[in-house]
Every structure is written in structure tokens, then in C-alpha cells.
Chains A and B, each alone.
Chain A
Amino acid sequence: MSAETIIDVRNVSKWYGAFQVLTDINLKVRKGERIVICGPSGSGKSTLIRCFNRLEAHQEGEIVVNGINLHAKMRNVSDVRRNVGMVFQHFNLFPHMTVLMNCMVGPMWISGVPEAEARARALKYLERVRIPEQANKFPVQLSGGQQQRVAIARSLCMQPAVMLFDEPTSALDPEMVSEVLETMTALAKDGMTMVCVTHEMGFARAVADRVIFMNGGQIVEEATPDEFFTSPKHERTQVFLSQILKH
């Protein structure tokens, strides 16, 4: 338990108007850890991980990422975001740029990496997600699974300290889910710190160090995958699991 903490969430609460989305969340993500967050739709999973790079603001509590405290008046939010990769449900690739450019612009414009090096780095990570041959196409010319892998490569090019995944496979056709999961599994094997919101229980079992179950804006249960799937403690978790595993 000596590994450094990358994301430290302490007593965080968040409201949308009068509606409380997050209630007293506590969570530590250590270097090299893989965490899977699951829970019913609307339970606040996306909102929580979007707070980690301050795409959303929290109102109470503290979030410290890479030693930087996130708050409304911070001037170095870019220093946090360049170190936190994020993969979205709907990919959000830049449609007006080629796949290669999608991967190059971050390092070039944020980290000041020279163009040649950015290109080499982009190709390296496109290789890693196994689509180097698509480098000069535009995103619309790719399948959903390929687009999501490009999105992963785009984030990796920033060489982030942690990667956040928000349901990366739920917008994909079934046959493309596995190619993205394989990419994510390979990433985990390489020691990447990851926080994944996903309902892919096979992935959670194989990869996660901890599974977190959220319901109604609270962390209801936190356990190792083994405990979580074989002997969930809370009734709400049991119901959720039975619904998900029924099929």
C-alpha cells in the first residue's frame, strides 16, 4: 500500500440544482491500479469520473489528482487534464482531422513535442491498438470499434498517468466490443492505471483490482472481483448482478 496515490477523492458531493448526484464519495486510485465502476443507469458513474479531470465541478469535498487539488479557481487545470486520458462512450474523435492528426495534436500543442516525434509517437500507439494502416483515414471512414481504439490511442499519446473510460463499449455493435476490450486488457497488462465505468463483467473479473458498485450517487460496495461476483454483501448489488448476469 505504499504506491503513490494518483486520484484521491475525499467526501465529495455534487448537486445539479436541487438534485444530489453524488453523495459523500471517498475513493483512492493508486498507481498501477485497475478499478471498475458499475451500477445502474443514472447512478452517477459518469458524473463521478468526469469530476476526475474537472469536466464537471464538485461542490463539496476534495479531489486531488497527481498532487493537484481541483477547484473552480485553479489556473493549471490543463496540467491535470494532460495527465488524465479520457475515453468517451461516443468516441468524440475530431472528425475534421485524419486519425494520425487526431493522435498528434495533443502532444504537439500541449506538450510541445516536435511534429516528427509526435508522428512517431502516434504511429507507435496506433500500432499498439492495432490499426496503424488506418492512420491517414478520417474517423467517419472507420467502424465504431476502430474509432474507439483510435480514441484510446489519442489519449495514450499524451502518456497520461491514468486513463478514464466511460462505458467505452456500450455504443458499439456486439462484434466490435471484444476488440476494444482486448485493447483495454492489453493496456492493463502493461501496468496502466485505469478507472473504467463498464458493464462488461468478464472484463471486470479478468482485469480489475477492485470493483466499485454505485447506486443513487453513493458507493454502495467496494470489493475484489472475486468477492464482488461470488458473495456481494448488499441486497442492491445482488439485484443488479442478477439482472446483468441473467442473459
Chain B
Amino acid sequence: MLYPDTVESVVLVHQPRFVATMFAAALVVFTVFNLTGTTMGELMRPVIGEPLQSGFYGRFAIALVIAALFCLNIVLIGFASLKIQIAIVWIELLLVFLAFFQTFHLSLPFIEQKLPFLIAQGLVTTVYVSAISIAIASLIAILGAVAKLSTNGFAYAIASFYTSFFRGLPLLMQVYLIYLGLPQLGIIIDAVPAGILALSLCYGAYMTEIFRSGIQSIDRGQWEASRSIGFGFGLTMRKIILPQALPVIIPPTGNQFISMLKDSSLVSVIGVWELMFLARTLGQKTFQHMEMLISAAMLYWIMSICLELIQSRIERHYARSKVR
């Protein structure tokens, strides 16, 4: 929370100076970008005549209308309540994106035809690879964090070497090293396990640091109280320290999960048929790259949103013991 003051601040978007500035900026921007050839130009035909021949007058008139609509929109949103503001802004930004995609003239039938396979094969593989990697990475992270905080020299050395190494190399390189390097040692490894291994090790290293700082954030008094009851290290860690560290650990871990979901696309380089791989190959034959790339992009985004929702639910769950 930013803990807002009880005195309301002035609504920025209702200040004449702010609105005027926005208006001027929009006017300049849309005058510079020539919009006479777009739908907007067509709509303005009654005023400016043949759009493409209207010259500077046409451009200026279009920019004027857009800037006016833009400022009116902002001022009106300023009157709405918080929730409605959030909803409207989200919807408007989405519409802007749709308008942007519109300019690609995407073939919807092609998307419709390929989408089922993109989901059944690509999305499923992506989810499956990231879910397993996330689980393994979390396990590694707990072990790594305990090792890094321990007074055992071996454990500390191994853990710090591990985090240093796997945070220090590009993930793409780790994927190659594991897929192409392990066979040199006589360990033949399939593409999917190799990808999972690379992702787990890399994210385990990052998450080790997150877990370490989470554990360190717990007051020393908790350790002492737990010990004074007679709990050993395992019980203290599992039942007292980690549960309290979780609210600290979860937001950055959620970040890592989302990031891992997208980084799982890197295993496409070793031929795993996940979302990114299919997005690049499915459109190749008919040169319909954009269709597949944008579909995959939307799928990634939807998955991320799901993870965000899950994360906020968990955070609310842990906020329980904090409310008075």
C-alpha cells in the first residue's frame, strides 16, 4: 500500500494546464504522423474532401479531432471511480492493440485452422515443461538457500558456486551446453528433459537468492522461540521459518514463474515442439508468420495473466495473519 492521505489531492487530469499540455502534445504527434490514408481520413472526408489530397490542412484537422477526443476521454475517466477507471483504461488499451493488429491484415481463417494444434501441442508442452521446471527449481532453491545460510563450508561453497555459475551464463547457452554437452559424457538426453534440466537449474539459482533473502527476513526471535520449545532445525525451518518467509518469497517467485513460462521458449532451439517452436514453423509454408506469432503471443499473455491471478490469491491468503 502507498497509504493515501486523507486529504484528496487535485485530480491531475482535471487541471487545465495538464489537459492543455496533453492536447498540444497529441496535436503535434498526430500532425507529424500522416493519418490521411487511414480509416480516420475516410471518416473526415465530409470536412476535408479527398483525404489524400487534403495536404497539411487535412492532417491538421484530423489531428485536431483526435487530440480533442483524446483529452475529452481523459477528463471523463477522471470523474469515474477507481474500479471503473481501471476497467476503462484496460479496455481502451486493448482496443488500441487490436487496432494495431488490424493493420497487419491477419487471416483469421488460418488462425482458426491452426489454433487447436497450437494449443494441444505447443501450449500443453510449454505448460508441462515450465510446471515441472518450476517445481524442481523451487526444491533446488530451498536446498540452496539453506546451504548458503549454513555454517557448513562444503554446502556453502557448492551452493555459491552453483548460483554464481547458473546466474552467470545465458540461459540459451545452458540449454545448448546440457543438450550437446552431456552426450559427450556418455549421457544421452532427450530434448524435453534437457530443456527441463536447463530451466530448473537456471531458475533454481535465481530462486535460491529469493529464498535466502526470505529466510533472512525472519526475526531471530522466531528461531529462538522455536528452539526454546525444543524444535530441531527441520521443524523450525518447515513449520516456523518457511511459512513466515513465504509472503516475502511469493511476489518475486511469481515473477520468476512468469518469466520462466516465457523463457521456456528458449528450449525451442533444441527442437522441443513447444509454443514458440510451433509459432515459428506453422506459418512458414504459407508465409503467414504474423498470424502464428501473434496467436502465440496472446497465448503467452493469457497464461501469464492466469499466473498473476493465482499469485494475487496466494498473497491475499497470507495477508490473513497480518490484519488486525
**What mask results when residues 52 to 89 of chain A are scored 1 for a CB within 8 Å of chain B, else 0?**
01010000000000000000000000110110111010
Q: Is B231 an interface residue (CB 8 A)?
A: yes
- Of the stretches A12-20, A103-111, A183-191, A234-242, the one at the interface is A103-111
Is the CB–CB distance between B224 and A88 below 8 Å? Answer: yes
What residues of A have a CB within 8 angstroms of the CB of B324 in the complex? 140-141
- Of the stretches B168-176, B232-240, B255-263, the one at the interface is B232-240
- Of the stretches A36-44, A90-98, A203-211, A217-225, the one at the interface is A90-98
A-contacting residues, B195-229, CB 8 Å: 219, 221-222, 224-229
* Residue count of chain A within 8 Å CB distance of chain B: 28
Q: Which residue of B lies closest to A107 (CB)?
A: B229
Q: How far is the CA of A81 from the CA of B222 in the complex (A)?
A: 15
Q: Is B243 an interface residue (CB 8 A)?
A: yes
Q: Is A158 an interface residue (CB 8 A)?
A: yes
What residues of A have a CB within 8 angstroms of the CB of B224 in the complex? 55, 86, 88, 92
Number of cross-chain contacts by CB at 8 Å: 66
Is the CB–CB distance between B230 and A110 below 8 Å? Answer: yes
What residues of B have a CB within 8 angstroms of the CB of A138 in the complex? 320-321
Q: How far is the CA of A96 from the CA of B243 in the complex (A)?
A: 7
Q: How far is the CA of A158 from the CA of B225 in the complex (A)?
A: 13
Give the residue of A85, A95, A109 whose beta carbon is less than 8 angstroms from that of B235: A109
What residues of B have a CB within 8 angstroms of the CB of A88 in the complex? 221, 224-225
Give the residue of B232, B235, B244 whose beta carbon is less than 8 angstroms from that of A96: B244
Q: How far is the CA of A81 from the CA of B235 in the complex (A)?
A: 14
Is the CB–CB distance between B222 and A92 below 8 Å? Answer: yes
Q: Is B17 an interface residue (CB 8 A)?
A: no
Interface centre among B229, B231, B244, by most chain A C-beta atoms within 10 angstroms, is: B229
Q: Which residue of B lies closest to A85 (CB)?
A: B228
Q: Which residue of A lies closest to B320 (CB)?
A: A138
What residues of A have a CB within 8 angstroms of the CB of B226 in the complex? 94
Is the CB–CB distance between A81 and B221 below 8 Å? Answer: no
Q: Which residue of A lies closest to B242 (CB)?
A: A96
Give the residue of A55, A141, A158 whose beta carbon is less than 8 angstroms from that of B227: A55
Q: Is B83 an interface residue (CB 8 A)?
A: no
What residues of A have a CB within 8 angstroms of the CB of B235 in the complex? 109
**What mask results when residues 303 to 320 of chain B are scored 1 for a CB within 8 Å of chain A, else 0?**
000000000000000001
Q: Is B322 an interface residue (CB 8 A)?
A: yes
Q: How far is the CA of A106 from the CA of B226 in the complex (A)?
A: 9
What residues of B have a CB within 8 angstroms of the CB of A140 in the complex? 321-324
Q: How far is the CA of A158 from the CA of B230 in the complex (A)?
A: 10
Q: How far is the CA of A55 from the CA of B244 in the complex (A)?
A: 21
Q: How far is the CA of A62 from the CA of B72 in the complex (A)?
A: 82
Is the CB–CB distance between A84 and B321 below 8 Å? Answer: no
What residues of A have a CB within 8 angstroms of the CB of B240 in the complex? 94
Q: How far is the CA of A96 from the CA of B320 in the complex (A)?
A: 9
Is the CB–CB distance between B232 and A78 below 8 Å? Answer: yes
| Contacts known (A92-B221, A96-B244, A138-B321); A105 close to B232, Cβ less than 8 A | no
What residues of A have a CB within 8 angstroms of the CB of B228 in the complex? 53, 55, 81, 84-86, 155
* Minimum CB–CB distance for A178 against chain B, Å: 24
Q: How far is the CA of A95 from the CA of B219 in the complex (A)?
A: 11
Q: How far is the CA of A55 from the CA of B222 in the complex (A)?
A: 12
Q: How far is the CA of A85 from the CA of B230 in the complex (A)?
A: 10
Q: How far is the CA of A109 from the CA of B320 in the complex (A)?
A: 24
What residues of B have a CB within 8 angstroms of the CB of A139 in the complex? 321
Q: Which residue of B lies closest to A80 (CB)?
A: B230
Q: How far is the CA of A40 from the CA of B244 in the complex (A)?
A: 35
Give the residue of A81, A90, A96 whose beta carbon is less than 8 angstroms from that of B230: A81
Q: Which residue of B lies closest to A53 (CB)?
A: B228
Q: How far is the CA of A85 from the CA of B231 in the complex (A)?
A: 13
Is the CB–CB distance between A105 and B321 below 8 Å? Answer: no
Q: How far is the CA of A97 from the CA of B243 in the complex (A)?
A: 10
Q: How far is the CA of A138 from the CA of B324 in the complex (A)?
A: 8
Q: How far is the CA of A88 from the CA of B232 in the complex (A)?
A: 19
Is the CB–CB distance between B225 and A93 below 8 Å? Answer: yes
* Minimum CB–CB distance for B257 against chain A, Å: 22
What residues of B have a CB within 8 angstroms of the CB of A141 in the complex? 324
Give the residue of A55, A95, A96, A110 whose beta carbon is less than 8 angstroms from that of B231: A110
What residues of A have a CB within 8 angstroms of the CB of B225 in the complex? 86, 88, 92-94
Give the residue of B221, B227, B229, B243 whose beta carbon is less than 8 angstroms from that of A90: B221
Contact sample, A vs B, 13 pairs, CB 8 Å cutoff: A81-B227, A81-B230, A86-B225, A94-B244, A95-B244, A95-B322, A96-B243, A96-B244, A97-B321, A106-B231, A139-B321, A140-B324, A155-B228
In the A-B complex, the 4 residue pairs with the closest CB atoms: A92-B225, A82-B230, A92-B221, A86-B228
Apart from A92-B219, A96-B244, A154-B229, what are 7 other A-B pairs with CB-CB below 8 Å?
A82-B229, A92-B224, A94-B225, A94-B240, A109-B231, A155-B228, A158-B230
